[in-house]
Amino acid sequence: MGKDSEFYKEKKNHQTMRLRELLKQLPGFVADYIYSKEMTSQTSTLVSYCYDLLTFFNYIIEKNPMYNGKKPVDFRLDILTKITSEDIAEYQRYLELDVSSDSKTIHENGKKAIARKMAPLRGLYHYHLIHKNIKEDPTVLVPLPRLKKDKNIIRMNNYEVQAILDAIQNGNDQMTERQRKFCERTQQRDLAILTLMLGTGIRVSECNGLDITDVDFKVNTITIVRKGGGQDVLYFGDEVHDVLKDYVDGERASIVPKAKPGHEKALFFSMQGKRMSVDAIEKLVKKYAQIAVPNKHITPHKLRSTYGTALYRETGDIRLVADVLGHENINTTINYYAAIEDEHKREAANAVNFHRKDPKA
């Protein structure tokens, strides 16, 4: 159950093996930095750091003829002292947009992605600076892209929520008969997934990791594994209970799971009898959103936004929203739902009226 399930054990082992494979491709001084982050970071985060640092060193090899024929693992620590702030700035521009000489590879990233990809490089320099392995850190001289806080968070209103759920049951007039029959085969599952996500605000990865043993219909709870690896228990309402129970007793009961560790107890199965993947859930949401809400870019995270917004409207308790959504830092929640505060301010403008009489009357 939860983080002790076979699925999460297998997932953790896979990530650990992938991390070890990537570290073999990187210099020893990078491995030292990565190892220093093991106690405070998830393995999946460290895997991403390795990919980003490999991108940087491959960029050095590609752009500087002096290093032609080398591999990232061949670099020594003194490479960090040879890189200037101008080199770092040029690398950021490379991340923003660059086409390879053969015109086959395109690097294109937005400001948020660039800032994320620069984080491990800046961390690498900072680690060796504080350990006195280098004397200067050129990354601090290069400002990161300025990220604007977006108050126009995409979410769905009640009408749109009903429309997307109705789309699962009724489909689309543009569907072929074959498509309609296919959707009917997974109707209970699809309705259960979207209703659960809209009714609890869980992340797509948390939904993907659910086992049947994580659901308690007696007290209406699910046990989930959070983004940071911690375990949490969330409550769900009667509507979620009914839809989820129909699926468990109906479509799911007729599925023969594939004999693979971590799949046999999955809550949501694909047509092949395997655990529904993150990609499959994302495509599922996108499919029905295009039918019901074609003018909005709806993703699983937007379902989470919709739930969080509705909960804040009903309770006005930002700490409760942060707790239910699993935000470790409440500032994340405050920034995320700042748009609702603006709505409250607009409502306040007309809330007080002294009904002053017209002196000419």
Furthest C-alpha separation in the chain: 91
Q: Show Cβ contacts of residue 65 under 8 Å, excluding neighbours closer than 6 positions.
A: none
Residue closest to 194 by CA, chosen among 161, 224, 171, 227: 161
With H, G, I as helix, E, B as strand and everything else as coil, classify residue 275: strand
Task: Give, for 234, the enclosing helix (H) or strand (E).
Answer: strand 231-235
| Main-chain phi, psi angles of 103, to 5 degrees | 60, 20
Residue 137: closest CA among 83, 63, 75, 58: 83
Half-sphere exposure of 129 (CA within 13 A, CB side): 14
Q: Are 33 and 50 in contact (CB under 8 A)?
A: no
Catalytic residues: 203, 227, 301, 304, 327, 336
Burial label for 347, CB within 10 Å (0-12, 13-18, 19+), is: exposed
